[in-house]
Amino acid sequence: MRHDRVTISDIAREAGVDKSTVSLVLNRKPLASRIRRDTRQRVFAIARKLNYHPSLVAKSLFTGKTMTLGLVVGGIETPFFAELTNTALEAADERGYHMLVSATRWDFERERNAIRLLLQRQADGIICTVGGLCPQGEHHELYTSITKQHYPMVLWDYQSDGLSSVCSDYSVGMDEAVKLLAGKGHVRIGYCFHGIQWNGKEKSFLSVCGRHNIEAVKYLQEDNPHGISKIVRKIIKPGHPKAFLVFDDSSAMEMIASLKDVGRSVPGDFDIIGIDDIAWGTSYRPRLTTIRQDLKQLTNSAVDLLVEMIGNPEWEPKNISV
Amino acid sequence: MRHDRVTISDIAREAGVDKSTVSLVLNRKPLASRIRRDTRQRVFAIARKLNYHPSLVAKSLFTGKTMTLGLVVGGIETPFFAELTNTALEAADERGYHMLVSATRWDFERERNAIRLLLQRQADGIICTVGGLCPQGEHHELYTSITKQHYPMVLWDYQSDGLSSVCSDYSVGMDEAVKLLAGKGHVRIGYCFHGIQWNGKEKSFLSVCGRHNIEAVKYLQEDNPHGISKIVRKIIKPGHPKAFLVFDDSSAMEMIASLKDVGRSVPGDFDIIGIDDIAWGTSYRPRLTTIRQDLKQLTNSAVDLLVEMIGNPEWEPKNISV
DNA sequence: TCGCTGTGTTCAATCGGTTTAACAAATAAT
DNA sequence: ATTATTTGTTAAACCGATTGAACACAGCGA
């Protein structure tokens, strides 16, 4: 036994009409008003009886729209991307789209492949979050070539002329954070930097530090589970800043945990501030100090922009900053 | 200007051959070996030049396979489901499938609708995680009717005759947890129960308690952000157990945080054990005691089972316990 | 009685591929 | 020289929908 698809022709046969009639009726097209009431009812009844599900594949082929968006993320195992994805999912849903999610594990070849597949699947547009978090230049070329073909694509936190993107404006939050730390007497602030977090954050942080006459000390964070604890082992020695800004909340939590493990207190010995304001930061103690990033707002803007581009084939690249 | 799709016919025209030739060549079909080498090369060259992306929509229509799986979850804003989804995404990817993700916000109508849409999109199969977490009986009927039509569907932690499912075997972990708490002298263990977590966990816990002669005390957890803290306010009064088993890690963390907020220590005043062993439980202090649930294993099994069912139209419902 | 309008429905092309059968030309076998 | 086989390619049906044009028939006015 197999799962047999019920098609529009099955209904037509059973109802003794042409499949075009069925199509008109089921889609409540204007022309369907001319069709006899009892024919209409018969069609509906049979469709329901046979448990008919119209094939969006066939429909898409004809209409050229799949009502599908692609979401390319590095992965959703971290709170930040989980929230992002969740919001994007709901946003797409509200606008009548489905979301095809691809996790690239931050690997460029995987990303290129994911995008290629989304194009093959005729996704109406793509939201790509990876480039905004990776310093590698390879991304740029990929995005440009796709946009050149006038295919709707919105980049996350990756601003560049000729590309559509939504960007987070960290400057206000950074400013507050730095002022807060400066107010506690810190003149040097360390920050943890790792490959997959970059673009806006570092630039913004450095300029804010400059403005407040604070020395920013960079710590390279290895891209593995021990990245943070290695940094911690280093900074508990003399000569390092006692205030840190960590570029995402999960790492901030790890840093606090790590500091506690080696007998330091937060706050007290160290002051740590994170960025993102993820939802379950709330069950962390001590309460996480964090720079609020309006993830929901940003994600919604991304989906809105993409849908807008899809709706208007004459779209021009556009930049949205939240 | 619009994004114009390059089709197989465009290539055919440019190469001066029939589109069937192009199809044979590009897909490296056996018959293509008969086609002149230079014709083949010309076709490849033109396809590359025009930046051709074969339409999987058209292909799916013909082959009847979309190479798409549906994943229905309540939402992925919690760590547990984020990890689940992430693993499922990668598992699907490894097997050549794409994942269409639907978040139902734990709402039954949304779930029914999500499934309906996945059927319309001709997803080759569906993994549904919602029923395993909700006590409502409505789910059952939905799942049964779909399975009756022999459509491949795997349920998460929702065991029932005639349905395919993967279930977590909590008994070993529960046993350890209860023994651990009993070893610390507890004779009563409280547990937090809320609507969206149920099926295996409670049953398993109660039977383990019975075996160890421990009294299990149930606390209903409201389904809102304050659910846990309300319970905490109750249990700090006299007469309540000092040991608790919380059915998921995020709630366990919340409970610990909440207890600290009212001046209680963990461990010390209270012993808390969670279930799930989510990845970023690791940056929580005090270190979370948790019952390990092999999420990755379970998710992979679900995807495997589904793919197996898709591959063999004669599949019988099957139950996998991990 | 001829055309006209409106009603109820169907025909046939189309979307972008895949696949099987068929066919022409070249080569090999007899 | 004739048939058989191989080589290189195409024609056409098909997947499951949508849609504009067309058609048959009714009733109606002139």
CB of A27 nearer than 7 A to strand D: yes
Asked if pLDDT for residue A322 goes beyond 70, the answer is yes
Supply the pLDDT for residue A228.
86
What are the Cα distances from residue A18, in Å, to A10, A11, A27, A37, A55? 10, 9, 15, 16, 18
d(CA B196, CA B203): 15
Burial class (CB in 10 A: 0-12, 13-18, 19+), A49: exposed
**Out of B2, B75, B116, whose CB is closest to A150?**
B2
Tens digits of per-residue pLDDT, A97-121?
999 999 999 899 999 999 999 999 9
d(CA B251, CA B104): 20
| A153 close to A146: Cβ distance less than 8 angstroms | yes
Tens digits of per-residue pLDDT, B152-175?
999 998 888 899 999 888 888 888
Q: What is the mean pLDDT of residues B121-141?
A: 84
Asked if pLDDT for residue A316 goes beyond 90, the answer is yes
Supply the pLDDT for residue A55.
98
Q: Per-residue confidence at A160, pLDDT binned at 50, 70, 90?
A: confident
Listed ranges A15-29, B216-230, B248-262; the one with the highest mean pLDDT: A15-29
Q: Per-residue confidence at A266, pLDDT binned at 50, 70, 90?
A: confident
Q: Which residue of A73, A277, A280, A306 to mutate against B (max B Cβ within 10 Å)?
A: A280
CB contact under 8 Å between B149 and A51, yes or no, is: yes
CB atoms within 10 A of CB A232: 24
Asked if pLDDT for residue A196 goes beyond 60, the answer is no
Which chain B residue has its CA at the smallest distance from A87's CA?
B77
CA B31 to C1' D6, whole Å: 13
**B1: chain A residues, CB-CB within 8 Å:** 150, 313-314
Residue B71 CB partners (closer than 8 Å, separation 6+): B85, B88, B89, B99, B100, B101, B102, B126, B127, B129
For residue B302, which of B287, B319, B288, B289 has the smallest C-alpha distance? Answer: B319
Q: What is the mean pLDDT of residues B198-219?
A: 86
Q: What whole-number percentage of chain B has pLDDT above 90?
A: 61
* DSSP 8-state code for residue B289: P
Q: Per-residue confidence at A159, pLDDT binned at 50, 70, 90?
A: confident
Asked if pLDDT for residue B1 goes beyond 70, the answer is no
Task: Please give the residue that has the higher pLDDT: either B149 or B177.
Answer: B149
Q: What is the mean pLDDT of residues B84-96?
A: 96
**Out of B56, B90, B120, whose CB is closest to A120?**
B56
Sheet of B215-220: strand order equals B215-220, B188-193, B243-246, B271-276, B290-292
Tens digits of per-residue pLDDT, A32-87?
999 999 999 999 999 999 999 999 999 999 999 999 999 999 999 888 899 999 99
Listed ranges B22-26, B230-234, B253-257; the one with the highest mean pLDDT: B22-26
Tens digits of per-residue pLDDT, B31-72?
999 999 999 999 999 999 999 999 999 999 999 999 999 999
d(CA B102, CA B318): 24
CB atoms within 10 A of CB A109: 9
Phi and psi dihedrals of B192, rounded to 5?
A: -100, 130
Alpha helices in B108-170 (DSSP H): 108-120, 138-148
CB contact under 8 Å between A122 and B98, yes or no, is: no
Please name every residue paired with B100 in a beta bridge, in sequence order, or none if there are none: A100, B70
Supply the pLDDT for residue A290.
75
Q: Collapsing DSSP states into helix, strand and coil, what is residue A94?
A: helix
Supply the pLDDT for residue B198.
57
Q: Per-residue confidence at A311, pLDDT binned at 50, 70, 90?
A: very high
CA A254 to chain B, closest CA, distance in angstroms equals 5
Buried b (16+ CB within 10 A) or exposed e, B216-253: beebebeeeeebbbebbeebeeeeebbbbbbbbbbbbb
Supply the pLDDT for residue B45.
97
Q: B199: number of CA atoms within 13 Å, CB side?
A: 23
Q: Which of A248-262, B42-56, B293-307 has the lowest mean pLDDT?
A: A248-262
CB contact under 8 Å between B285 and A260, yes or no, is: yes
| B221 close to B252: Cβ distance less than 8 angstroms | no
Supply the pLDDT for residue A275.
79
Mean pLDDT value across chain A: 89
- Asked whether the CA dihedral B143, B148, B151, B154 is positive or negative, the reply is positive
Mean pLDDT value across chain B: 89
Asked if pLDDT for residue B85 goes beyond 70, the answer is yes
**Side chain identity at A315, as an amino acid letter?**
W
Task: Please give the residue that has the higher pLDDT: either B221 or A278.
Answer: B221
CB contact under 8 Å between A3 and B150, yes or no, is: yes
Residue A5 CB partners (closer than 8 Å, separation 6+): A53, A55, B64, B122
Supply the pLDDT for residue A173.
82
Q: What angle do CA B151, B154, B160 make, to 5 degrees?
A: 100
Q: What is the mean pLDDT of residues B94-120?
A: 96
Q: What is the mean pLDDT of residues A188-208?
A: 78
| B220 close to B196: Cβ distance less than 8 angstroms | no
Supply the pLDDT for residue A168.
84
Supply the pLDDT for residue B279.
64
CA B59 to C1' D12, whole Å: 18
Nucleotide nearest to A24 (CA to C1'): D18
| B258 close to B228: Cβ distance less than 8 angstroms | yes
Q: Per-residue confidence at A26, pLDDT binned at 50, 70, 90?
A: very high
Tens digits of per-residue pLDDT, B219-243?
988 877 788 889 999 999 999 999 9
Question: Which of left, alpha, beta for A162 (phi over 0: left; psi -120 to 50: alpha)?
Answer: left
CB contact under 8 Å between A314 and B1, yes or no, is: yes
d(CA B61, CA A59): 10
Supply the pLDDT for residue A221.
83
The label of the residue with tokens 């006590």 reads: B135
Residue B141 CB partners (closer than 8 Å, separation 6+): none
CA A107 to chain B, closest CA, distance in angstroms equals 13
